[in-house]
Chains A and B, each alone.
Chain A
């Protein structure tokens, strides 16, 4: 056998050498880009021995749209709608991150009502995103019904957003200085209703999935990531917190008026899939807590500050970070003084979180790779941008 010729046909990117031993049963398996559990178009190449995973190599770029290049030729306001399409499950929070950077550059303030709207909308978005994640996580583990239950409650929040800005998914709602329109009168009653509904739903979810013995067996001690590894990979969000590092931008570097609300940042102990799952469930409870406080003290007044005739950022570079449903989203803008940015870079949380996949998956079974992917909770268009 010509080893060199065989080596050239092997898949790219593997660190471990291929085992030419005749007794070895190693083989490669391609997962994706069209695969039900890769949540879109992620492609994984697995090196397997029977059902056990030896190495995983993710291949990105199947939805790389050149968003940062497109942004360089659009004005600052036009770019808000592009941030929706990064992580479309937390588009409000992406909008906010981008607007914060512009506000910082131009020194634009936000009235109190505007800040309240921001916090409430962001928390609703976080819950909405987590509900979808919960459904998909269950479906990846084989419980299809969870998917529909998650969507059922998600629609309640989607309805609020629809009434707010007309869109269901790509919102384009926040502007530098507030939001482009005030909330409708029905907003607060609707949020109250959603809070009540969610409390009931979360109990149901816990009975259906969290307390299920099969689910716990499938997720406990699967895909363990210790805190040193998590930090080294640059993981953020619930992946980092599940490993025991308490870092939440809302708490540690509060933006908007998150410092006025009382909420906890849940922390995991082991860093396994079940920890990540549990954290997300608890985060929903915390978000509901914030919403309850905000509903109590929702102020009157203007929803935004004065609109500028043009948004021309002075020369310099600006950075803002927010906590999306998946982790830390950084927006870095380099301005040259004109109406268009010189360069925009989005620091995507999923990009770093996914990088830790190989470390988590090694030694587990194929089914566990699916579990890990499900609890990592990534959105591929945000990774690829």
Chain B
């Protein structure tokens, strides 16, 4: 941005025309026209990362319709876009891509940071190891629209503010021509405002008369006092047990014990029953298994006639400070039953066999556990990090993970 002109082109025009009489006015008019065109034709880039993107889409929908402001032609390619609406959280992995996208856009380009995540990290400011705390740490932001997520109306307001900014931005004399054209030919807004004011005045006078008449008619009338809001009292209800399932936990456990006598129930708390027969339909079967039998047992559980655990729900891990627990949750679509298999691993260099040969779906779950806990799976076909960058130091879901450059600890 130079001393004059909204862009290089208008600057050059200014250099030539300024020398001639009346040239300054002409340049001002050209600048006004260009900035008018820019303000009224903001083509947004199709870019949305999280929840805010939905509200951005809602701003384009029939009810809110940002096309009214000329923000209609959403371009998928940054080369033709003028505006990035940073809708949603920006994480470290996305950061580079965002900068590239911004660089790929032709000048002049504008950025609206929509929602608290793009402004400051929002709900993910504390404790998170991957979120970039604000879009303005990467690219310059013109307008901030607060909210989580902001309403579409708020985004529209942000766009109008941006238009206002563009109309003035970089112009030598931003106020001059605007004053000339300040009163539009058809100012419906002011008209409506005046209308409303007149109506209100009329209503007020009518009310005043009515109040006086009422006072004359009822001289000892007292306005009732507003009631205090009573806080409702609610009963403490006991929880109703969930409907039973086709197969009972003890049958399951019995079937397992038959084949593997050295497994036992995972006893986790005071409320959890000690024996299997106490396990109602509410509680999940949580079985602790030795590491050597892990693969065999998963295979058995999947194929056994009585169990038929045919769907792998999840595979995850828990960091118990001194050891890890690998947790495999399986679901039977036949018996509507679900169970956990739990297998403990040593803290240093934890490793276990992969179950991708049994459940293909385990592949990504195992990659996730590898990424976040650092547990390796022997024989896994594609042991890479799944969420984080390859050069990310450490494994964030471990309890001893610390990285002061990334994590801001919650102060309370």
Whether the complex brings A and B within 8 Å at their CB atoms is answered yes
A residues touching B (Cβ–Cβ < 8 Å)?
Answer: 12-13, 15, 33-36, 40-41, 60-70, 72-74, 81-82, 84-85, 88-89, 103-104, 107-111, 132, 147-148, 151-152, 154-155, 158, 168-170, 177-178, 229, 231-236, 240, 245-247, 252-255, 259, 302, 304-307, 314-317, 319, 321, 328, 330, 332, 334, 342-343, 345, 347, 351-352, 355, 380-381, 384
Q: Verify B234–A85 contact, CB threshold 8 A.
A: no
A111 to B410, CA, bound (A): 36
What are 23 of the A-B contact pairs (CB < 8 Å)? Answer: A34-B78, A60-B387, A65-B91, A65-B128, A69-B397, A70-B123, A72-B127, A85-B51, A89-B54, A103-B239, A104-B239, A108-B239, A111-B237, A155-B58, A155-B61, A169-B149, A232-B359, A233-B360, A252-B336, A259-B243, A315-B269, A334-B318, A343-B319
Q: Quick check: which of B184-192, B212-220, B249-257, B307-315 contacts chain A, the rest being far away?
A: B307-315
Taking A36-B46, A233-B361 as contacts, is the C-beta distance between A347 and B124 under 8 angstroms? no
**Residue numbers in B under 8 Å from A72 (CB-CB):** 127
Please encode chain B, from 292 to 330, with 1 for each CB lying within 8 Å of some chain A CB and 0 for all others.
000000000000000000111110101100000001010
**Residue numbers in B under 8 Å from A158 (CB-CB):** 58
Q: Verify B51–A170 contact, CB threshold 8 A.
A: yes
Q: Verify B131–A328 contact, CB threshold 8 A.
A: no
Q: Which of B127, B235, B384, B386 contacts A306 (CB 8 A)?
A: B235
Q: Which of B50, B151, B386 contacts A85 (CB 8 A)?
A: B50
Q: Which of A66, A154, A247, A343 contacts B131 (CB 8 A)?
A: A66
| 3 A-B pairs closest in CB distance | A109-B237, A316-B269, A151-B61
**Residue numbers in B under 8 Å from A315 (CB-CB):** 268-270
Please encode chain B, from 338 to 379, with 1 for each CB lying within 8 Å of some chain A CB and 0 for all others.
101000000000000000000111111100000000000000
Q: Verify B127–A169 contact, CB threshold 8 A.
A: no
Q: Which of B50, B129, B271 contacts A381 (CB 8 A)?
A: B50
Q: Verify B123–A82 contact, CB threshold 8 A.
A: yes
Q: Which of A68, A148, A254, A305 contacts B234 (CB 8 A)?
A: A305
Taking A62-B93, A152-B62 as contacts, is the C-beta distance between A232 and B361 under 8 angstroms? yes
Q: Verify B361–A70 contact, CB threshold 8 A.
A: no
Those of B59-118 within 8 Å (CB) of chain A: 61-63, 76, 78, 88-89, 91, 93-94, 97, 101
Q: Verify B316–A355 contact, CB threshold 8 A.
A: no
Q: 11 extra interchain contacts, Cβ-Cβ under 8 A, other than A40-B50, A66-B124?
A: A15-B382, A61-B91, A66-B130, A69-B397, A70-B123, A168-B151, A169-B54, A259-B243, A306-B235, A316-B270, A352-B312
Q: Verify B89–A63 contact, CB threshold 8 A.
A: yes
**Chain A proximity of B406: nearest CB distance (Å):** 9
Taking A62-B93, A355-B363 as contacts, is the C-beta distance between A151 and B286 under 8 angstroms? no
**Residue numbers in A under 8 Å from B243 (CB-CB):** 254, 259
Q: Verify A13–B382 contact, CB threshold 8 A.
A: yes
Q: Verify B51–A88 contact, CB threshold 8 A.
A: yes
Q: Verify B61–A304 contact, CB threshold 8 A.
A: no
Q: Which of A64, A168, A305, A352 contacts B93 (CB 8 A)?
A: A64
**Residue numbers in A under 8 Å from B55 (CB-CB):** 168-169
A384 to B319, CA, bound (A): 20
**Chain A proximity of B357: nearest CB distance (Å):** 11
Q: Which residue of B lies closest to A308 (CB)?
A: B236
A228 to B45, CA, bound (A): 41
Q: Which residue of B lies closest to A139 (CB)?
A: B57
**Chain A proximity of B123: nearest CB distance (Å):** 7
Q: Which of A66, A84, A332, A352 contacts B127 (CB 8 A)?
A: A66
**Residue numbers in B under 8 Å from A81 (CB-CB):** 123
B residues touching A (Cβ–Cβ < 8 Å)?
Answer: 45-51, 53-55, 57-58, 61-63, 76, 78, 88-89, 91, 93-94, 97, 101, 123-124, 126-131, 148-149, 151, 232-240, 242-243, 245, 268-272, 282, 284, 286, 310-314, 316, 318-319, 327, 329, 331, 333, 336, 338, 340, 359-365, 381-382, 384-389, 396-397, 410
**Chain A proximity of B304: nearest CB distance (Å):** 15
**Residue numbers in A under 8 Å from B47 (CB-CB):** 34
Q: Verify B54–A384 contact, CB threshold 8 A.
A: no
Q: Which residue of A lies closest to B282 (CB)?
A: A104
**Residue numbers in A under 8 Å from B93 (CB-CB):** 61-62, 64
Q: Which residue of B lies closest to A252 (CB)?
A: B336
**Residue numbers in A under 8 Å from B310 (CB-CB):** 231
Q: Which of A104, A108, A246, A319 contacts B237 (CB 8 A)?
A: A108
Q: Which residue of B lies closest to A35 (CB)?
A: B76
A314 to B46, CA, bound (A): 46
Q: Verify B88–A69 contact, CB threshold 8 A.
A: no
**Residue numbers in B under 8 Å from A12 (CB-CB):** 384
**Chain B proximity of A92: nearest CB distance (Å):** 14
A163 to B234, CA, bound (A): 23
**Residue numbers in B under 8 Å from A381 (CB-CB):** 49-51, 88-89
Q: Which of A68, A111, A147, A245 contacts B397 (CB 8 A)?
A: A68
Q: Verify B271–A234 contact, CB threshold 8 A.
A: no
**Residue numbers in A under 8 Å from B48 (CB-CB):** 40
Q: Which residue of B lies closest to A87 (CB)?
A: B51
Q: Which residue of B lies closest to A115 (CB)?
A: B240
User: Considering residues A178, A234, A319, A380, which has the most beta carbons from chain B within 10 angstroms of its beta carbon?
Assistant: A234
Q: Verify B361–A88 contact, CB threshold 8 A.
A: no
**Residue numbers in A under 8 Å from B364 (CB-CB):** 60, 351-352, 355
Q: Verify A316–B271 contact, CB threshold 8 A.
A: yes
Taking A61-B93, A64-B93 as contacts, is the C-beta distance between A40 and B237 under 8 angstroms? no
User: Considering residues B124, B236, B268, B331, which has the most beta carbons from chain A within 10 angstroms of its beta carbon?
Assistant: B331
Taking A33-B94, A73-B127, A234-B311 as contacts, is the C-beta distance between A151 and B149 under 8 angstroms? no
